[in-house]
Amino acid sequence: MTDSDTRQPAPSVTPSPKSTWPPKLDGWLDAVARRATAEGILSSILVPLVSALAALVVGGVLIAIDGVNPLSVYGAILQGVFTKSRGFSYTATVATPLVLIGVGYALAYRARVFTIGGEGQYLVGAVAGTAVVTAGGVGDLPRVVLIVVGLGAAIVAGALWGGLAGVLANRFGASIVISTLMLSFIGDSLLQWAVRDGIRDPDSYNANSRPISAAALPSFFGQKTHLGFLFALVLVPIAWWLIRRHRWGFRIDARGHNPGTLNANEFSSARVTLSVLVVAGGLAGLAGMVETTGVNVRLGQEASVGYGWDAIIVALIGRLHPLGVLVAGLGMAGLTIGFESAQRQFELPSSLVSLITAFVIIFVVWGDAIAARWKESR
Amino acid sequence: MDTLFSIATVEAGIRLGLPVALAALGAIINERSGVLNLGLEGMMLSGALGGYIVNDATGSPWIGLLAGLLVGALTGGVFAGLVVTFRTSQVVTGIAFTIVAIAATTYLFQLRWDIGELPPRVERLGMWPLVALTLVCVAGVWFLFRRTTLGLTISAVGESPESADALGYNVVLIRWMATIAGGALAGLGGAVLVNGPLGLFIEEVTAGRGWVALALVVFAGWRPVPAVAGAFLFGLCDAAQLRLQGTATEVPYEVFLALPYVVTLIALVVRARRSHTPAALGDPYVRGAS
């Protein structure tokens, strides 16, 4: 823990010299090296990178078995993302919910709070936000107010859904993995009921809400990328700052390493559990509303597309680091978008892309174990 | 509401409960040995696809069930290799395992049957042979843990691997065997789902039943008979939900859709305090580490 060093000034016999600029190079290098080894450069960058490459190789073999040249498929994927005019815009759009939910997961997993309830919180957030902005009589409100109120309602709903799991864990010792999972299924039932009956558009034949057009998020440069992507971009440095510089982030990491330490210092680790679940839930709820108002026109039965599950992979591949989550989220979104056009061109099964990302995560898990053994043996 | 409380609903409840019951039995064996198997859903799904493909090829649902069992055992072996031998995090590995299994079964299924092409209905088994099969499995697991030294050894490994090791038992081997056996039962559960009255595989056909089975194990306090009773309860809710879906009623059918999960959540709360959780559940065993 390099952070704890910087927070508590070391007792020094001699008065510390005034800070000079530029700092002495060897001291600075030493600090960089210490920080890198504390985080483990091997496991933080090398393992996910090698895992991603290995998964692409496995995917290539599968494509080759299907009788297609894998290099031309991967070429088409790159082309789809980088040269097509809309490629990056779509990638950013898909990455938005992945990063928003993924950063929440990353914070929770740092505290060793294993929530997998992002999907339910996403849906509950979407339902609550949509219910507010499509309610009768709010249509006259200015667009900005409507957007803020809708997103706020979604954050609150997601936070409550996540916080419920925290309360159940703290008060009754219920397993967070199982309870967040059950809450995800219940959230899906809630969505089904809401669009079929609760907030259904009475004029629509299909089961969906009224259009949310009045609360639609503005998009950039006439492209598909919407304001939500900016939220994701802003969230990353905030989360980074929280982890590195804020007391809360320090407590999260402390709980992750040894919850007993917190309790011994008269700070309840249960409070960390609850707060981290509330924050992760709020972010997932925000993602749900951002997706509804930024991409879709209405909330429908098909709103559950699995961003809450995919974000688990994104958080793990991103090494529970906000910047890593952003990179992993963009990578996964790029693969998905690029593959969409390549798949039609080469007539490949549409599930291949999820198989490749799934292999990345298995390789990361495996690679971590190998790296740990390698460290032990030295 | 008349149609809700009928023999047909109870029958459907039993039918829908069987795969969950088998998977829950598998999870009990896993967790008693100290291995938390969050890959259960994936193992069920793998067994379902294996059972379906073999049944389609051979025309025999019984061989299909056997294939489901073997595929499940194989996935259990892979999982054991990761969490027992390589000592990866059981929570993360389990979740990743299920994600891989969902993607892999969908991929293989899409590869075999193109979109739009109707996958064939396979030969189906009636309900009663499957009920008999499940009862045999329940009795077997009950007997294992209540009446045999092996069952006691498995529990010892799950409670205190250090002590079991000191007594000369091979912790790694026993966890391997328990994980494979649990995977086999989960795979069988998946195969029962597909080779039973359904006779069809669709993408993600297990639809979260493996997760329900995991929750049921907590609800049942790691005992086989209550776990099967819980599975039947889940099946009844599922049947009620399916029955109500077409009809307009005062109670929205989504209530029944959510009911099994709500019940599980409540059970989790009521049970957790005085549960018989294996003490070493989720901990990888490193010899001489503590």
Q: What's the ipTM?
A: 0.83
Give the pLDDT confidence score for residue A306 in this predicted structure: 86
Lowest mean pLDDT among A143-147, A255-259, B9-13, B116-120: B116-120
Q: Looking at this protein, which amino acid is placed at residue A37?
A: T
Q: Which of A106, A153, A158, A144 is nearest to A328 (CA)?
A: A106
d(C-alpha A344, C-alpha A356), whole Å: 17
Query: Quick check: B277 contacting A, CB < 8 Å?
Result: no
Contact between chains at B106 and A316 (C-beta distance less than 8 A): no
> Over 70: is that where the pLDDT of A301 sits?
yes
How far lies A201's CA from each of A134, A295, B220, in Å?
9, 19, 43
B contacts of A354 (beta carbons < 8 Å): 102-103, 106-107
Helices (H), ranges, A43-139: 47-65, 70-82, 87-110, 118-133
Query: Quick check: B208 contacting A, CB < 8 Å?
Result: yes
Q: Is residue B287 part of a domain?
A: no
Percent of chain A whose pLDDT exceeds 90 = 36
Residues with Cβ < 8 Å from A338, sequence gap 6 or more? A76, A77, A78, A79, A80, A81, A87, A91
Name which of A197, A352, A370 is nearest B107 (Cβ-Cβ): A352
> Over 90: is that where the pLDDT of B30 sits?
yes
Question: Is residue B79 within 8 Å of residue B183, measured between CB atoms?
Answer: yes
> Over 60: is that where the pLDDT of A30 sits?
no
**A245-254 long-range contacts, CB within 8 A, separation 24+:** A248/A275, A249/A107, A250/A3, A250/A4, A250/A7, A252/A107, A252/A110, A252/A111, A252/A276, A253/A1, A253/A3, A253/A110, A253/A111
State how far residue B273 is from chain A, nearest Cα, in angstroms: 6
- What's the average model confidence in pLDDT over B105-119? 80
Give the pLDDT confidence score for residue B33 in this predicted structure: 94
Q: What phi and psi values does residue B187 have, to the nearest 5 degrees? A: -60, -40
Contact between chains at B110 and A66 (C-beta distance less than 8 A): no
Give the pLDDT confidence score for residue B274 in this predicted structure: 58
Task: List the single best residue of A177, A196, A313, A332 to mutate versus B (max B Cβ within 10 A).
Answer: A177
Give the pLDDT confidence score for residue A6 in this predicted structure: 41
Give the pLDDT confidence score for residue B35 in this predicted structure: 93
B contacts of A312 (beta carbons < 8 Å): 95, 99
Token couple for A42: 């091997």
Lowest mean pLDDT among A121-135, B47-61, B260-274: B260-274
Query: Quick check: A196 contacting B, CB < 8 Å?
Result: yes
B contacts of A115 (beta carbons < 8 Å): none
Instruction: Write the CATH number for B213.
Output: 1.10.3470
Contact between chains at B106 and A354 (C-beta distance less than 8 A): yes
Q: Is residue B282 part of a domain?
A: no
Give the pLDDT confidence score for residue A12 in this predicted structure: 40
Kindly report the average pLDDT of chain A as a whole number.
83
> Apex CA A41: angle with CA A239 and CA A117, to 5°?
40
- What's the average model confidence in pLDDT over B33-51? 94
pLDDT digits over A174-201, tens only? 888 889 989 999 999 999 999 888 888 8
Task: List the single best residue of A68, A164, A185 to mutate versus B (max B Cβ within 10 A).
Answer: A185
β-bridge partners, A200: A209
State how far residue B93 is from chain A, nearest Cα, in angstroms: 7
Give the pLDDT confidence score for residue B227 in this predicted structure: 92
Structural domain boundaries in chain A? 96-309
d(C-alpha B115, C-alpha B118), whole Å: 8
Q: Which residue from B minimizes the CA distance to A67?
A: B111
Give the pLDDT confidence score for residue B155 in this predicted structure: 92
Q: Is residue B278 part of a domain?
A: no
Q: Which residue from A minimizes the CA distance to B284?
A: A369
How far lies B152's CA from each of B22, B26, B33, B156, B159, in Å?
21, 16, 10, 6, 10
Give the pLDDT confidence score for residue A23 in this predicted structure: 43
Q: How confident is the model at residue A11 (pLDDT cuts 50, 70, 90)?
A: very low
Q: Which of A14-28, A31-45, A273-287 has the highest mean predicted lDDT (pLDDT)?
A: A273-287
Domain that holds residue B262: 7-272
pLDDT digits over B60-100, tens only? 999 999 999 999 999 999 999 999 998 888 888 898 899 88
**A320-323 long-range contacts, CB within 8 A, separation 24+:** A320/A106, A320/A109, A320/A110, A321/A44, A321/A106, A321/A240, A321/A243, A322/A103, A322/A106, A322/A235, A322/A236, A322/A237, A322/A239, A322/A240, A322/A243, A323/A236, A323/A240
Q: How confident is the model at residue A281 (pLDDT cuts 50, 70, 90)?
A: very high
State how far residue A325 is from chain B, nearest Cα, in angstroms: 16
pLDDT digits over A318-348, tens only? 988 999 999 999 999 998 888 887 888 888 8
Q: How confident is the model at residue A85 (pLDDT cuts 50, 70, 90)?
A: low
Contact between chains at B215 and A309 (C-beta distance less than 8 A): no
β-bridge partners, A219: A226
More confident residue, B50 or A135: B50
> Over 60: is that where the pLDDT of B147 sits?
yes
d(C-alpha A80, C-alpha A116), whole Å: 31
Q: How confident is the model at residue A84 (pLDDT cuts 50, 70, 90)?
A: low
Give the total number of structural domains in chain B. Answer: 1
β-bridge partners, A226: A219
d(C-alpha A288, C-alpha A96), whole Å: 10
